[in-house]
Amino acid sequence: MTVRTAVRKPLVAAMLGVVLGAAPLVALYSVGAAPTTARADEAPPAAVTSAQPQGGASVMLPDFTTLVKKYGPSVVNIRVIEKAPSQGNGSPFGPNSPFAPFFRGLPFQAPPQQEPIRGEGSGFIIRPDGIILTNAHVVAGASHVTVQLTDRRQYTAKVIGEDKIADVAVIKIPANNLPTVKLGDSTTLQVGQWVLAIGAPFGFENSATAGIVSAKGRTLPDSGYVPFIQTDVPINPGNSGGPLFNMQGQVIGINSQIYSRTGGYMGVSFSIPINVAMQVAHQLMTTGHVQRGKLGVIIQNVDQGLADSFGLPEPEGALVSSVESRGPAAKAGIEPGDVILALNGEAVKTSSQLPVRIASLMPGTVVHLTIWRGHAKREITVKLGSMGNETLASARHPQQQGGSLGLAVRPLTGDEQQQAHTHGGLLVEGVSGPSEDAGIEPGDVVLAANGQRVSSAGQLRSAVEKSHGHVALLIQRGSTRIFVPVQVR
């Protein structure tokens, strides 16, 4: 169902809703532990059995009984308590209110006390001395964290560190000689591969569910630095923070989120790759915080219309729509309209790949970018800054719909330029035809056409005449800037 309102449409298309599981996400790094694979003489924890339907051909199905028996005791149930908001002393005015002195000593009926907020999730032991990995959103804001093992032993856990960006946290319980999982290598995952999740959906401890890898490298809203593993494994609230196993019994992901219109599982689940989680956990364990590289650009995907506009042979790369003033990219000479094609010699096929790869590098790292500018490739060297809690880059997706541009424009006044924080530019006063189809609206500001700044209708007309049927307009709407491809008729 589509809902239309009078509110102006954003330039960035809406993305799929993501529902966080009930438990916070926590990640931990197992010092000295390296990804392992099953030996040739070791029977894999998950076997393949043959089922013979009546009157039909045999079907090969996985048998996870050995895996669950061996590694199930390493999966824990996590219960958290978050303090209820303070209700004060019942006075209608706060202690700092200028009216408070006039009401001191007067009786007020205190409002009913709210119950503490309770939640639960899952986690898994990665070190025998009580180090546990889970989601950050499982333990976020918790005043008390309790961990229960499969043998019913309970411990109060200490949160070692949490990283909200990756949704990874590390907690520790005061115990030794605990059963642990075996860590795998998430880069070896293949789409179609069988995987198993163990956790506590809806509080049902040590529940096992299975499915296959549906896709790799998925980016989600507000999670642009994690290349999620998408599966069809049934995941529900309470599964958050639990392990995702491959057929060899190795943990290759942390179950984190689901896509749902109901709040429950609908066939699409997302897990954090264990390699990403380990990078985060190692920093949490050694330094107490996480550092990420920063390029200082806003990017968007390149579709066929934009590729035609910029003369790219293929619709690939990350199109720079905005450059942070005095940021690393600006200092290196990167400009709006550049298309980043490769990072350190490795191709950037889609814009969503770039933030993940930049964020995995440490601040101060020198990277080599291959960019497309003026119908030719160029090489640029950039020294990365530190992202901290800022946004590094986010994939923006404009509304892309297919002689005349269909725009009525006028130059911005001096006051309008100051308000828009720009020099030059054209205010859109009327829109029709191709530009309307592309999503441009009255009130938008046209800053550039095919990479050339415009400050008059003549400059815009000239750029359109040279465009060979395709023009990429740099549009500003509010504080957002993005390239919009327009097919000229």
Q: How far apart are CA 184 and CA 195, in angstroms?
A: 12
Domain-ending residue, one of 266, 289, 312: 289
Contact 169, 24 (CB under 8 A): yes
Considering the domain boundaries, does residue 317 fall inside one? yes
My answer on whether 224 and 317 are in the same domain is no
My answer on whether 302 and 412 are in the same domain is no
My answer on whether 165 and 24 are in the same domain is yes
Tokens (6 digits) for 31: 């010092």
My answer on whether 424 and 383 are in the same domain is no
Q: Confidence band (pLDDT; 50, 70, 90) for 53?
A: low
Position 29 scores a pLDDT of: 26
My answer on whether 233 and 165 are in the same domain is yes
Q: Confidence band (pLDDT; 50, 70, 90) for 61?
A: confident
Instruction: Name the residues annotated as catalytic.
Output: 137, 167, 240
Position 72 scores a pLDDT of: 95
pLDDT tens-digit profile of 244-267?
Answer: 999 999 999 999 988 877 777 788
Considering the domain boundaries, does residue 93 fall inside one? no
CATH of the domain at 420: 2.30.42.10
Helix (H, G, I), strand (E, B) or coil at 268: coil
My answer on whether 195 and 273 are in the same domain is yes
My answer on whether 475 and 388 are in the same domain is no
Contact 420, 445 (CB under 8 A): yes
Position 48 scores a pLDDT of: 63
Structurally, how many domains does the chain consist of? 3
Average pLDDT in the chain = 80
My answer on whether 317 and 457 are in the same domain is no
Q: Which residue has the higher pLDDT, 370 or 402?
A: 370
Q: Which residue has the higher pLDDT, 192 or 434?
A: 192
Structural domain boundaries enclosing 309: 293-396
Position 94 scores a pLDDT of: 47
**Token pair 């999670």 in the structure block, residue:** 223
Q: How far apart are CA 411 and CA 395, in angstroms?
A: 30
Task: Give the ranges where 129-238 is alpha helix by DSSP (H).
Answer: 136-139
Domain-ending residue, one of 289, 319, 343: 289
My answer on whether 305 and 284 are in the same domain is no
What is the distance of C-alpha 101 from the center of its chain? 49
My answer on whether 337 and 219 are in the same domain is no
Considering the domain boundaries, does residue 91 fall inside one? no
Considering the domain boundaries, does residue 474 fall inside one? yes
pLDDT at 3 over 70: no
pLDDT tens-digit profile of 132-184?
Answer: 999 999 998 888 999 999 999 999 999 999 999 999 999 999 999 999 999 99
- What DSSP string runs through 78-106? EEEEEPPPP-TTS-SS-TT-TTGGGGTT-
Tokens (6 digits) for 371: 């960019």
pLDDT tens-digit profile of 268-290?
Answer: 999 999 999 999 999 998 888 88
Q: Which residue has the higher pLDDT, 60 or 236?
A: 236
Q: Using the 8-state DSSP alphabet, how is residue 382 labeled?
A: E
pLDDT at 402 over 60: no
CATH of the domain at 211: 2.40.10.120
Identify residue 306 by its one-letter amino acid code.
L
Q: What residues contact residue 65 under an 8 Å CB cut-off, 6+ apart? A: none
Q: Confidence band (pLDDT; 50, 70, 90) for 224?
A: confident
Position 391 scores a pLDDT of: 37
Considering the domain boundaries, does residue 171 fall inside one? yes
Q: Which residue has the higher pLDDT, 231 or 394?
A: 231
Considering the domain boundaries, does residue 183 fall inside one? yes
pLDDT at 293 over 80: yes
My answer on whether 366 and 449 are in the same domain is no
Position 261 scores a pLDDT of: 77
Domain-ending residue, one of 251, 271, 289: 289
Position 142 scores a pLDDT of: 86
My answer on whether 212 and 233 are in the same domain is yes
Q: Note the pTM of the prediction, 2 decimals.
A: 0.66
pLDDT at 218 over 80: yes
